[in-house]
Chains A and B, each alone.
Chain A
Amino acid sequence: GAVVSQHPSWVICKSGTSVKIECRSLDFQATTMFWYRQFPKQSLMLMATSNEGSKATYEQGVEKDKFLINHASLTLSTLTVTSAHPEDSSFYICSASQGSSQPQHFGDGTRLSIL
């Protein structure tokens, strides 16, 4: 149980393109979803926390207008990287939990490469 699916797993696109990444909880309702980013040889860094039906809470230094997060249902959250540039190339991972004190279950991650 507690499966989180993330799509796509790999994206390569041109600079200036907007990219949408989906995160779905397949067998449970996720009231809270988290978006992380990991650069090579670095730790996972939390970008934002989103609760279903509410605006996401962004970590310091993460531009909310650039990284648009939507959590419209209990099983789906999306992250849109708007006007992506090469410095946005990274490994993006989502996680989902059934409640604020419940464990987080991670998606497979999305490797984003901007040319």
Chain B
Amino acid sequence: RKEVEQDPGPFNVPEGATVAFNCTYSNSASQSFFWYRQDCRKEPKLLMSVYSSGNEDGRFTAQLNRASQYISLLIRDSKLSDSATYLCVVNKYGAGSYQLTFGKGTKLSVIP
């Protein structure tokens, strides 16, 4: 089983739609969790951290369920600029530092 698994996508949604991404992780020692977005041929950029209590940043809501090792991202009122690949990322301590493990990503295309 892969350390971080995501919906394979791609997701093609109209502007204004609500879209949800799911992610599961296998290592219960994972300590922190993030969603990154990556545009084509660019470096990943941090979108938001994910907390057990759930957190919201504008149109984006992230949830974490440690018991089921499940992470989600909800995007409301999708914009064309939201088109990107969304990466689920978990962080655990190893080799003397925290290490990020990335999922393969889910591609989102928001259509006019």
- Please give the residue numbers on chain A whose beta carbons come within 8 Å of chain B beta carbons, in ascending order: 6, 32, 34, 41-46, 49, 51, 57, 91, 93, 95, 97, 100-101, 103-104, 106-109, 111
A12 to B11, CA, bound (A): 33
Q: Which of A43, A97, A103 is within 8 Å of B102, CB to CB?
A: A43
Are A49 and B96 in contact (CB-based, < 8 A)? yes
CA distance A41 to B44 in the complex (A): 14
Write out the residue numbers on chain B whose beta carbons fall within 8 Å of the beta carbon of A100.
93, 96-98
In the bound complex, do residue A43 and residue B100 qualify as a contact, i.e. CB atoms below 8 Å apart?
A: no
Q: Contact between A44 and B41 (Cβ–Cβ < 8 Å)?
A: no
Is A57 a contact of B103 with CB atoms below 8 Å? no
Q: How far is the CA of A41 from the CA of B42 in the complex (A)?
A: 13
**Chain B proximity of A109: nearest CB distance (Å):** 5
> A95 vs B89: C-alpha distance in the bound complex, in angstroms?
14
Q: CB distance A106 to B43 under 8 Å?
A: yes
Q: A44 CA to B3 CA in the complex, in Å?
A: 12
B27-54 contacts to A (CB < 8 Å): 41-46
B26 at interface, CB cutoff 8 A = no
Q: Which residues in A have their C-beta under 8 angstroms from that of B45?
A: 106
With A44-B44, A93-B43, A106-B43 already in contact, the answer to whether A57 and B96 are too (CB < 8 A) is: yes
One of B4, B87, B93, B100 near A46 (C-beta < 8 A): B100
Contact of B104 with A by CB under 8 A? yes
- Tell me if A101 and B98 are in contact (CB < 8 A): yes
Across-interface contacts of A93 in B (CB, < 8 A): 43-44
Q: Give the complex CA separation of A101 and B105 in angstroms.
A: 24
8 Å CB contact of B46 from A46, A103, A107: A103
Q: Nearest Cβ distance between residue A105 and chain B, in whole angstroms?
A: 8
**From B44, which residue of chain A is reached at the shortest CB distance?**
A106
Nearest-CB residue, chain A, relative to B88: A43
Q: Which of A43, A44, A49, A106 contacts B95 (CB 8 A)?
A: A49
Interface residue? B22 (CB, 8 A): no
Interchain CB contact (< 8 A) of A57 among B95, B102, B105: B95
